[in-house]
Amino acid sequence: MQLQELIFQGVLAQSRPARVRIDEPLQVLELPAGVGASDVQDLLVICLYPAQSQALEERLFKGAEGVKLACAFEARGSSLRVVRQAPTESVRLQRKTTSGYEELARGAADVQRALQDKLNLPDLATFYAIHLWRFDFDMEAVINAATLGNDPRIPDLANLYLTSLEVESLEDQIKELDLRVEEGQRALGEGAELEEKLTRAREKLNEVELAELSDEEIDLLQSRDARMDDYDAQLGRLQSQLDTERRQIELSVPDEPTRTPLFWLGVAIALGAFVASLVFHQTHRIFALGSIPGLALGAFVLLRYYTSLSKASVHQVRVDSIRRRISQLREEQIHLLERVEHTLLHAGVEREEELQARIPMARKLRSVIQRMESQLEAVRTNPEYRRARKELDSVQAELAELKRRRSELPSFVMNSFQLENDLQSLGADPVEIRANADQSAASSAAPLPSSPLELLRWVAERNGQWIHGVLSESTRAMWSKVCGHVLSERFSDVTLDADGELHVEALTDEQLELWQRTRSAEVQVVVCALALALFISTSRGDEGSGLESIWISDPALMMTPAHASRFESVFKSAARQGQIAILGGRS
């Protein structure tokens, strides 16, 4: 299959029909003004791959009117063409006959399917890589289309389909294992009943047990009421003692001497005797002795006053001591309540009554669990039980793993049968989708290509030029020969590894890395040489099979003029194997 002519109108600012035609095996094609090589290549994609060119159509046809495209080519001795307008339903594949053109297919999907199935048109990724030397496309989308189908909805639908199959398979396995678990539990006999009771008891214990509380905290909660009662009793006794001491103080504190009549009586007697002795000092000086009883009476009043004060101070000391003890007890009581409150918060309960109820319940459950564990240990000595237990543990572990995998998938998925029908209606093969998924899972498939050389490695593998993990010897030899001719003898032995990384025999890894970073034009020569080698290798198949044309931009735009000049002799030799069109090059 060789391309012959591309005609376009109403697009790329071409109001009149523009024609790009090749008549020689190697020809430089002059392009209309304002039209670049990439524009012509995009139009070829729109004509030959209409089912995968929605993005290109939106970009090129936006705002365009009167769009008309025609791509003529020769295949197996027949002249064919693809004609179309802007709508995808206008795409038609026609064959030239003596009476005109016969329609072979209509619609984007049918036309592309006919080209690929009947004329061996390569997938779009291969077309871009070795027939256009273009690597600026969405590799992931194009490669997925090559694997799954052309409709852009297929990849998402295929993922849903595979997910649905996985969910259905897991659910069937889970149901089967549930039945086996029931059978295994019946085989345990009495042990199964004990295990079930023990499990329930442990679950109940987990609900009521206060595992985070220490023994000291539990004792604190249990003795709280008794300690509070003891505090209240002590406070009551101390308060009673305090009242008694206060009354003793009130009784012990006397009136001041100046408020006591006896004191003033003694003062009056002593003063009267003293005055009388002064007045009658010649005749009655003896009256001065009368002051002695008065002074004695005053002294008695003072002695009684200070004795009572001493007794009152003793009672005051007792009052102060009792007050300090009361304050201490109240602080201890508050501290106890704070510790109880903190313990309740720590235990995660709101009411102390609940906590008090759970503590004995947990102790009882622990006792019951210990008794059942002893009974179960006796049952486990039975060899039949151990065998049945081992089988059941294995089944339950497998069941748990399946349930874990199921939980990671969507809770609801569509029926796989319906999704399979939807895929078939879009032109995808569910069997191939399943096979590709199995192959990817088995081989841990490498990530999609992200560089030109990785893409060319993928193309080589897809087109039978990647054998036993290496590039076919004929293709590698041709690639090395072109590299050695265009670059230098140092590049006369090149190869790719399984990851699509370049290796040059004459360069160390450090030299190769430096060369790739600093000589981008020479790297482009290596890429183009591999694309050309793959093109020639695929064109050497059965006569009339595959696409035998490459339409590329001027190599001088991709590499240095010297390299492009050397490539011209390579093109002349390659043109014997297929058609080479250089778009917009120097004539």
Structure tokens that stand for 272 in this block: 């009267």
- In this predicted structure, what is the pLDDT of residue 296? 76
Q: How far is CA 574 from CA 26, 47, 201, 302, 535, in A?
A: 9, 26, 84, 144, 9
Give the gyration radius of the chain's Cα atoms: 54
- In this predicted structure, what is the pLDDT of residue 544? 39
Integer Cα distance of 31 and 13 in angstroms: 13
HSE-up of residue 161 (Cα within 13 Å, Cβ side): 25
Query: Coil, helix or strand for 186?
Result: helix
Integer Cα distance of 169 and 165 in angstroms: 6
Backbone angles phi, psi at 586, to 5 degrees: -80, 130
Q: Which residues of the chain have pLDDT under 50?
A: 444, 542-545, 587
- In this predicted structure, what is the pLDDT of residue 209? 66
What tens digit of pLDDT does each residue of 518-567 get? Answer: 999 999 999 999 999 999 988 765 443 478 999 999 988 888 989 999 99
Integer Cα distance of 134 and 36 in angstroms: 14
- In this predicted structure, what is the pLDDT of residue 26? 93
Any alpha helices (H) in 84-123, and if so which ranges? Answer: 108-118
* Amino acid at residue number 207: E
569-576: long-range contacts (C-beta < 8 A, 24 or more apart)? 569/485, 570/482, 570/485, 570/486, 570/529, 570/532, 571/26, 572/26, 574/532, 574/535, 574/536, 575/25, 575/26, 576/25
pTM of the predicted protein model: 0.58
- In this predicted structure, what is the pLDDT of residue 354? 62
- In this predicted structure, what is the pLDDT of residue 318? 84
- In this predicted structure, what is the pLDDT of residue 284? 61
- In this predicted structure, what is the pLDDT of residue 193? 73
Q: Where are the domains of the chain?
A: 154-250+312-425
- In this predicted structure, what is the pLDDT of residue 543? 42
- Which neighbouring-strand residues pair with 96? 101
* Amino acid at residue number 535: F
- In this predicted structure, what is the pLDDT of residue 512? 92
Is-contact 83 50, C-beta < 8 A?
A: no
- In this predicted structure, what is the pLDDT of residue 53? 86
